[in-house]
Structure 1
């Protein structure tokens, strides 16, 4: 069977399905190829959404324990793993059905199968039947896959990846999390709340490498209370099956230790899912890491083929993929479009949450930028004190001369929601006076942004002397 379409999109994640919907809105005949039964990608099925559902449950459990300090005692919550798993899967089904409805309503053709390129104008889709599709343009939105250690270090059959951990098939007594990045920390906190004794090991010098250490400090302090152990500058040496568990050797402070865990969760990053697409049959260039090389319109070196999301470079974030999808479609439609964001928010959805966007203090120093950094501690926030969560911090980076906002970092409750104001401020080239003069609701943690901006002007009301 064969057919012709204006636009072929391979991959139905947050980049692919958003691109498909936008293309349909612009009158472009679109076919979307997705290997899974429902669209939404890793984000929906085994990433962003299920992890946030379980993190919500973990926070309820931890809040119940913390409430004792307020004079409210619930006792330790009991976890019904089967019911929890069913609820989490229901969240996925509901949102997946919603995505399908959005595409169906726009008359986007969705084919379940695996797509590969035969040449720069033709793709082959293998599903219930083989379909050959001729396209005017194509968008690669195939996302990424988890990195694994070589079998010489540990047998892949002995480890969980994030998808397996989110399946919630069992609650291990002892869980080793290899990798202290955002995925490892989020899942480690989930399982700690559900009752597992969690150990986290990270090869680099700090948790969440790449994030501002000042923002990670409050999170690390809370994790140390929740986890059995946390080790940084710690290298995994080997792992082998022992009884019903896994005996793992890792090096800490120059000494090799051996411990047995019920489960090992491997969270050492992700790589672009581009190696089995038949790109060698096209003029698409792929770099040494597997990312498709694209320009500001997300067009590859093959003028008919675009790439977005994890397949097109870092940061590997769902919202970045969606934004790129819109840009690629606009370019295909002949409209002026370029992916040139000043700020892409990054969020670690732990408790406390950590979020940042724009230029960091370290990046500013490396670039030789003249900046001024202000901080507002949440211990001076009425809302934070009322919630019993004064471990937060709002940090802002301004141009020293123009006072233009360049970057923001926040650690604290709902930091992932608060960071949106910072993104808008950076994109709109807001200056400290404009942010400080904007009336924020009281009491709210959003006031910490206003007060940090006021600190740039030398008069933060609730933190006198803070500059």
Structure 2
């Protein structure tokens, strides 16, 4: 087979890789992208998009169940609802199919050549790709490694028929009567909450002292309260040990050090993700590592000239939109433009019930800088739009420097607050001060009004509380 040559070779067509390739193509860079699966990567095919589809389906079903039970605050009633999980999964798969086809079309429109197969490095400029028609050799002036991450598998609980990852959970066509979730991070709680709303009896096992242990406690309290309302049993300070001898239960060590059996039809393990660095021939490259991850600088350059790395395999935060921003930047650098990288304004969103958003520094992180800070919070219980939506739990919080009022961080927890993340990120990206936020007129009635109200609170003259 004839060798292919290009200026830029992108390995992996996930969010970071395909954005990098598209932008490079737009800039006239001769680009090839290699992907073993469908374009879109984990996020589009088995992560962000399909999980949010199933979360929405679960929310809609829960509303019907509430109405059928006569518990709707809006005076609505309904007949006994019936869930067709297979149909919901088919709807989810349809969304994924449209989006993967869309990404393929965007790559083609940008003039990017796609090679389907698994790439393996010969050296820093050359890869071999196992394709359906044989081995294809590709040589490039610059290479971007964007291979992503995979779920962490516990040695005592290998993935199989009963033990599933988030990928397996999204493929279920029958609802497990009893679901045990190991890990109360954002993936475990998002999916666990969805299955609870669909009708599964859900138990969450978390080794730390509370759910969402990487988020600050004030943000997680409304989530923990809602889990209890949904009937989800949460066992904190507990460690998953092994499957029972009959395979029908998870054996855990609880907070008191006692062993317990938790019956489970399915066991969902969500204890994190690890960078996908195996199988690519990376041992042929002299790349510095930062623990499990590939070390990069502020321009995503690795320790080898002409080799870049983006996305999950470069460390935290392991977020699709971070990978996209990195990919766009690297494409412009390869095209000869001057670009830099600053991760201070990357929003993190947890699609639990209620949703959680954080951009910039938390109060503790801000205090750790040694500066005096101002904070202001505004509760959704005082927000008219939140009340009309029937869910007024949560708040918006603003953190700023005390001396010049520069906004350092913004957090929120509440129904639909994921959509506020753009405003939060924009404020930090543009160097807003509390007065800028407070002085921006927000539409009434919207939940976004809680943002300037929180800023007013930090300034000492809140209007509506």
Normalising by structure 1, we get a TM-score of: 0.95
Give the aligned partner of residue 135 of structure 2.
130
Q: What are the ranges of 5 or more consecutive residues in structure 2 without an aligned counterpart?
A: none
Does structure 2 retain, via aligned residues, the 8 Å contact 1:374–1:395? yes
Give the aligned partner of residue 281 of structure 1.
284
Give the aligned partner of residue 456 of structure 1.
458
Q: 1:308 to 1:76 in 2, by over 3 A?
A: farther
Distance 2:296 2:244 in 1: 42
Superimposed CA distance per residue, residues 221-266 of structure 1 (whole angstroms, 9 cap, x where no aligned partner): 00112134111111112213526x3343332332221122111000
Superimposed CA distance per residue, residues 119-175 of structure 1 (whole angstroms, 9 cap, x where no aligned partner): 11111111112100110000000000110111xx23432410000001123211000
Does structure 1 retain, via aligned residues, the 8 Å contact 2:17–2:146? yes
Does structure 1 retain, via aligned residues, the 8 Å contact 2:377–2:458? no
Does structure 1 retain, via aligned residues, the 8 Å contact 2:179–2:266? yes
Give the aligned partner of residue 397 of structure 2.
395
Distance 1:164 1:58 in 2: 17
Q: How many residues align?
A: 458
Give the aligned partner of residue 31 of structure 1.
32
Q: How many angstroms does 1:86 deviate by?
A: 0.8
Give the aligned partner of residue 145 of structure 1.
150
Q: How many angstroms does 1:21 deviate by?
A: 0.3
Does structure 2 retain, via aligned residues, the 8 Å contact 1:15–1:141? yes
Distance 2:424 2:86 in 1: 40
Superimposed CA distance per residue, residues 27-55 of structure 1 (whole angstroms, 9 cap, x where no aligned partner): 0011100010x200000110000000001
Q: 1:73 to 1:179 in 2, by over 3 A?
A: same
- The answer to whether the aligner puts 1:376 opposite 2:381 as a matched pair is no
Q: What are the ranges of 5 or more consecutive residues in structure 1 without an aligned counterpart?
A: none
Within a 5 Å distance, the mapping from 1:98-113 to structure 2 comes to 98-113=102-117
The 4+ residue runs of structure 1 with deviation greater than 4 A are none
Q: 1:297 to 1:317 in 2, by over 3 A?
A: same
Distance 1:115 1:60 in 2: 42
Does structure 1 retain, via aligned residues, the 8 Å contact 2:378–2:395? yes
Give the SS at the match of 1:446: helix
Give the aligned partner of residue 19 of structure 2.
18
- The answer to whether the aligner puts 1:272 opposite 2:299 as a matched pair is no
Give the SS at the match of 2:254: strand
Does structure 2 retain, via aligned residues, the 8 Å contact 1:341–1:427? no
Does structure 2 retain, via aligned residues, the 8 Å contact 1:155–1:239? no
Superimposed CA distance per residue, residues 82-140 of structure 1 (whole angstroms, 9 cap, x where no aligned partner): 21111111010011111111111112111110111101111111111210011000000
Distance 2:262 2:169 in 1: 20
Normalising by structure 2, we get a TM-score of: 0.96
Q: 1:75 to 1:397 in 2, by over 3 A?
A: farther
Q: How many angstroms does 1:66 deviate by?
A: 4.8
Task: Give the aligned CA root-mean-square deviation in angstroms.
Answer: 1.3
Give the SS at the match of 2:15: coil
Superimposed CA distance per residue, residues 161-212 of structure 1 (whole angstroms, 9 cap, x where no aligned partner): 0000011232110000000000000000111111100000111111112112
Does structure 1 retain, via aligned residues, the 8 Å contact 2:73–2:390? no
Task: Pick one of 205, 222, 235 that aligns with 2:209.
Answer: 205
Does structure 1 retain, via aligned residues, the 8 Å contact 2:61–2:83? no
